Chains A and B, each alone.
Chain A
Amino acid sequence: MVTTYAVARVARGNRLSPARVGAVINRNVGALRSGPAYWLVLASGFFEPVLYLLSIGVGVGALVGDLTLTDGEVLPYANFVAPAMLAVSAMSGALAETTFNFFFKFKYVKTYDAMLATPLRPMEIAAGELTWAMIRGSLYTGAFLIVMVALGLTTPGWALLAFPATWLVGLAFGAVGMAVSTFIRGWQDFDLISTGQFALFLFSGTFSPVQDYPLPVEILIAATPLYHAVELIRGITTGMLTWSMLGNVAYLLVMLAVGLYVASRRLTSVLCR
């Protein structure tokens, strides 16, 4: 009896109100309208992976030539690098929102304190911010996919399928980023985050197949998150689907669930003392 009551209470307590989650997203849309500054940040986030694609994918690709993968498939180098850049832009788009912006609102302008004085609950704030991060990331990835199709690096059909996959990547990284942000002590910690982000960027099978590394390194890389995002998206844009991609999806879903749970728990424990 008591248990049933407790369970019912928890279930009711955890139910998200779509209207309230929407109100959190609405706040960010409002911020977007406020002036050119935010748009500038948005634009720079789009150009970064495109520049990498052109310089390394196309430029270095001309020196490297085609890649012969372990299963014997031959792939032009640019086609190999482009999906990795796509995964990176989904990751960095979401992380920009849930680390830097989230921390600023959390610690300095006290946006969430103001929100918590209304019927909004921490879980709804986390869900709203994460959805917004995903929307921001998808602006980058949508534009990047158009570039890929235009350069003949994937087909329109695969691009359409890859788009929702980038949403999942954005949600997964966004959720973990948000959870990490609640532990950040000050701006100096962002150096750690960007170093980590850069390491992932270089060594997640982005520029060379992970099979080229010694086995222990390969195993280590396979444990890190961006690897799974790259594998999933590369499988789609190159049209080489494998069952192991389900594992990549599962990995990203776990990131999403754990990240969101930790973030809302931390919002509660820090802001509702």
Chain B
Amino acid sequence: MIYARGLVKRFGDFTAVDGIDLEVAPGEAFGFLGPNGAGKSSTMRMIGCVSTPTAGELRILGMDPVREGPAIRARLGVCPQTDNLDPDLTVFENLTTYARYFGIPRAEGRRRATELLEFVQLTEKSGSTVDPLSGGMKRRLSIARAMINEPDLVLLDEPTTGLDPQARHLLWERLFRLKQRGVTLVLTTHYMDEAEQLCDRLVVMDAGKIVAEGSPRHLIETYSTREVVELRFGDDAPATYVEKLAGIGERLDPLPDRLLLYSADGDAAVNEVHRRGFTPSSVLVRRSTLEDVFLILTGRTLVD
């Protein structure tokens, strides 16, 4: 579906995407994970054929995005980072009007719009304008709009950013159903839980480069430990404990408010901390997540 070799995007002196290689297979749910400014959106825009690569090779659906942009876009569904729904039109017309851009006949456009509103649970909002809809509803409408041309490949740029938990879960569930239908999904996110929920395979991007690639489980196994212990020491700076706890677990990572202790066996590590005579104000043993992988790979917390 997507093939890229040495893909580069520069804006003047700034290199947004710095030579990435990737391949996405049909039916896959593929994720770009990374902080803001990592080059995720620039990559997505190149895949969406609205941005010309500065260098490197890029093939989308076997075609050249520069010469065959319209033909490729006819088979893509794009859900942008910020909603660009049409405020002058109703929910239903947003879909039928969009269908016309793809050359879909009116009657067929209406049929698909009805079906898609059902799918994203917005049927009762059909005649409303877009403005009064909640953020979650707008996102669902954006996704319905991206599906109007029955795309082979759907691009979702931060699909759940800014949504409340209920809205996120509903959206994930809908996206999961799309995946089950065999639609190839490519999404960017900076939510680790989202990447773990939705992606078969993902790449972690930082400063325009791919720093790791694999399934969520593979990444966790490769870059982190099975369990992580989060220790807090009241008002003491976590960094001061790094030396005192040295040797426990495989790795210690002081954050401003807590100390992360990576270990295959969290409980054993906690016992060792106590044996050395330290009593943290709070202890949490949890399974390792992509967030830990991210911290290890990029050496910092996610910042917005």
Contact = CB atoms under 8 A, between A and B. Distances in A.
B67 A9 contact: yes
Interface in B224-263: none
B7 interface: no
B73 A26 contact: no
A116 B102 CA distance: 11
B70 A27 contact: no
Interface residues of B, number: 32
A115 to B, nearest CB: 6
Interface stretch (A83-91, A118-126, A197-205, A206-214): A118-126
B101 A23 contact: yes
A34 interface: yes
A30 B103 contact: no
A273 B11 contact: yes
B223 interface: no
A1 interface: no
A109 B90 CA distance: 15
B74 A114 contact: no
Contacts of B74: 118-119
A37 to B, nearest CB: 9
A20 B86 CA distance: 17
B88 A20 contact: no
Contact of B86 (A38, A109, A116, A118): A109
Contacts of B69: 121
A117 B97 contact: no
A31 B94 CA distance: 10
Contacts of A109: 84, 86-87
A13 B90 CA distance: 33
A143 interface: no
Contact of A34 (B50, B89, B149): B89
A91 B177 CA distance: 52
A218 interface: no
Interface stretch (B75-83, B192-200, B211-219): B75-83
B86 A111 contact: yes
B71 interface: yes
B51 interface: yes
A119 B90 contact: no
B154 to A, nearest CB: 11
Interface of B: 11, 45, 48, 50-52, 67, 69-71, 73-74, 76, 78, 80, 82, 84-90, 93, 97-98, 100-103, 129, 149
22 contacts: A22-B100, A23-B100, A26-B100, A30-B89, A30-B93, A30-B97, A31-B88, A34-B93, A109-B86, A110-B84, A111-B84, A111-B86, A113-B50, A114-B84, A117-B50, A118-B73, A118-B102, A119-B70, A119-B73, A119-B101, A272-B50, A273-B51
Given A23-B103, A113-B84, 16 more contacts: A20-B103, A26-B97, A27-B100, A31-B86, A109-B84, A110-B80, A110-B82, A111-B84, A113-B80, A114-B85, A114-B98, A116-B50, A117-B76, A121-B70, A271-B50, A272-B52
